[in-house]
Amino acid sequence: MPKSPGGALLSGFDIDRMSPVPIYRQLDASLRRLILKGTLSPGQKLPSTRELATDLGVSRITVKSVYEQLVAEGYAQAKTGAGTFISKGLDFEATPRIRSARRKPTPPEVEISDRARTIMSSKASARHGKTDPFRPGVPALDLFPVKVWDKYMMEAMTCHERHNLSYGQVNGSAALRRSIANHLTDARGMQVDPDQIVITSGAQQAFVLIAFVLLKKGDTVWYENPGHIAGRDVMQIMGANVAPVPIDDEGMDLSHAQDNHPTPTLIFTTPSHQQPLGTTMSLVRRLSLLNYAHDNDAWIIEDDYDSEFRYRGRPLPALSALDSKRRVFYVGTFSKSMFASMRLGYIVVPPGLVETFAKARNLLGQSSSAVVEQALSRFMEDGRFVEHIRKMRRIYRERRDVLFDCLMNDCAAYLTPQTTDAGMHMLGWLKNGLDDQVAHRALLAAGIESLPLSVYCLEPVGRPAIVLGFSCAPAARIPKLVKRMAAVLRDLS
């Protein structure tokens, strides 16, 4: 039962007026049962005698005498002026029968649908809370300017007569869509009408929405192999035939795809920084991809998840910026540039489909938080977003360099590090026949959170590697961590 400053609601119990058991005894027995079951937890406040008496339609004196009895027996404590609280330190371990009744029952084996089976086979890991260094894709959360952000959040909660505490707009607030459109013009060379943007709860929801709207069972989706795991699993769950497309030096190998797979409804790609190999798709390949999509009525998802972080030269404009035929769904996220629990991302939707996407967004969770949307749009308008990205870019570049140097110094016997011009992770190609899953598990046991390349693969790519995120590891800690890695890999070798 959640703790509430005003006391527990006790909404589940009722008084049976037809029962021969007196009301006093019924109330007393119900409260004891809740205390012993742990539903009313130690320290939790009981409702005031007045409130409970009104809720149950009984006299206040009855409630008062039940409370007094519980206090007299040590189940509860009365604090003058504050109320009655369940006693702390009650030894529930001494009541084994009730303990075991509280244990969750094992869920029965249930067969719901083919879709449920596909969902259960997903390899996408649910992440939350603390992660160990070098988990890929995790920004430097300790460096996020929380005090500044807090100011924007407070402002967003209290302004406009608190309108933001209601539902947000299904396609996202006009202000945030404008801020994003401006940012995309400035940073990605795209000309975007804010009305083409649909705000989502992160890029993952964008993939779900696109698959939900576009895919029919049995449709083919060309998907980069290796590729982003959770996006791929969504396509499969929606009943698509996900066709793995290898990556060469220029990006997705379109000739291979055309020779080996049926014409797709949808093509999923990460052209700025291939996830996870790090390749940037060449201009020639981008144009071929756009032409192919146009000629074959295929749609493209451009997942531009970490393009803010480029360390050398100017980034190529987004694929979407070249898309005169309007076949691209451009997907962006704030999970890497800001923090993931913000749960904000967006789709730039090709014209003619915006209304459908807004309706679909409504069905899949209504809207994002209007409070967070406003805080973010002001944060962007005031230049704070770009300021944060610039700072992180400097820090991540340093972390990347330190990690690469340390891997070269200490781990070269076990892996070949492959540095990167962009993003938040690099690859370590394993040597000596080391298996990437085995290496991943051994490193994890030593507090190092790499990911094995094979989990990104629908088909094996031939060479084992681990993916190492450098953005979340402070530079000063990296040398020691890499020495620990070397020791683990030495033992495995």
β-bridge mates for residue 246, sequence order = 225
Contact 399, 470 (CB under 8 A): yes
Residue whose C-beta lies closest to ligand PLP: 202
265 binds ligand PLP (CB under 6 A): no
Cβ closer to ligand PLP: 53 or 229? 229
The interface with ligand PLP within residues 132-161 (CB under 6 A) comprises 137
340 binds ligand PLP (CB under 6 A): yes
> Strand 241-248 vs strand 220-225: parallel, antiparallel, or unpaired?
parallel
Cβ closer to ligand PLP: 268 or 414? 268
How big is the site for ligand PLP, counted in residues (CB under 6 A)?
Answer: 13
Q: Pick the piece of the chain touching ligand PLP (CB under 6 A) from 170-178, 200-208, 378-386, 390-398.
A: 200-208
269 binds ligand PLP (CB under 6 A): no
CB of 42 to ligand PLP, least distance (A): 37
Among 133, 202, 251, 278, which residue interacts with ligand PLP (rule: CB under 6 A)? 202
CB atoms within 10 A of CB 325: 12
Give the CA distances from residue 85 to residues 8, 230, 301, 453, in Å, rounded to whole numbers and listed in that order. 10, 46, 55, 53
Cβ closer to ligand PLP: 410 or 449? 449
How far is it, in rounded angstroms, from Cα 79 to Cα 387?
51
Cβ closer to ligand PLP: 340 or 446? 340
CB of 288 to ligand PLP, least distance (A): 22
Contact 266, 239 (CB under 8 A): no
CB of 342 to ligand PLP, least distance (A): 9
Give the CA distances from residue 263 to residues 4, 378, 430, 457, in Å, rounded to whole numbers and listed in that order. 57, 43, 35, 21
Look-up of token digits 């939900």 = 212
302 binds ligand PLP (CB under 6 A): no
Coil, strand or helix: which one is 231? helix
Cβ closer to ligand PLP: 84 or 335? 335
Q: If we measure between CA atoms, which residue out of 484, 315, 476, 314 comes closest to residue 398? A: 476
Q: Pick the piece of the chain touching ligand PLP (CB under 6 A) from 12-20, 23-31, 116-124, 201-209.
A: 201-209
335 binds ligand PLP (CB under 6 A): yes
CA-based torsion, 402, 405, 411, 417: positive or negative: positive
Q: What's the farthest any 2 CA atoms get from each other in the chain? A: 85
Cβ closer to ligand PLP: 251 or 345? 345
305 binds ligand PLP (CB under 6 A): yes
CB of 389 to ligand PLP, least distance (A): 16
The interface with ligand PLP within residues 221-240 (CB under 6 A) comprises 228
How far is it, in rounded angstroms, from Cα 196 to Cα 172?
11
Q: If we measure between CA atoms, which residue out of 204, 185, 163, 147 comes closest to residue 364? A: 204
Cβ closer to ligand PLP: 306 or 436? 306
Coil, strand or helix: which one is 269? strand
What is the token pair recorded at 490? 């030495």
204, HSE (Cβ side, Cα atoms, 13 Å): 15
Cβ closer to ligand PLP: 345 or 464? 345
Cβ closer to ligand PLP: 333 or 450? 333
The DSSP code sequence of 175-208 is: HHHHHHHHHHHHHH-----GGGEEEESHHHHHHH
Q: If we measure between CA atoms, which residue out of 214, 177, 215 comes closest to residue 194? A: 177
204 binds ligand PLP (CB under 6 A): yes
CB of 184 to ligand PLP, least distance (A): 16
Among 226, 345, 428, 469, which residue interacts with ligand PLP (rule: CB under 6 A)? 345
DSSP annotation of 24:
H
How far is it, in rounded angstroms, from Cα 442 to Cα 129?
21
Cβ closer to ligand PLP: 179 or 270? 270
27 binds ligand PLP (CB under 6 A): no
281 binds ligand PLP (CB under 6 A): no
Cβ closer to ligand PLP: 335 or 369? 335
Element (H, E) at 266: strand 266-269
84 binds ligand PLP (CB under 6 A): no
Q: Pick the piece of the chain touching ligand PLP (CB under 6 A) from 184-192, 196-204, 283-291, 394-402.
A: 196-204
CB of 190 to ligand PLP, least distance (A): 18
333 binds ligand PLP (CB under 6 A): yes
280 binds ligand PLP (CB under 6 A): no
308 binds ligand PLP (CB under 6 A): no
How far is it, in rounded angstroms, from Cα 83 to Cα 48?
7
> Which residues of the shown chain bind ligand PLP in the complex (CB under 6 A)?
137, 202-204, 228, 270, 275, 303, 305, 333, 335, 340, 345
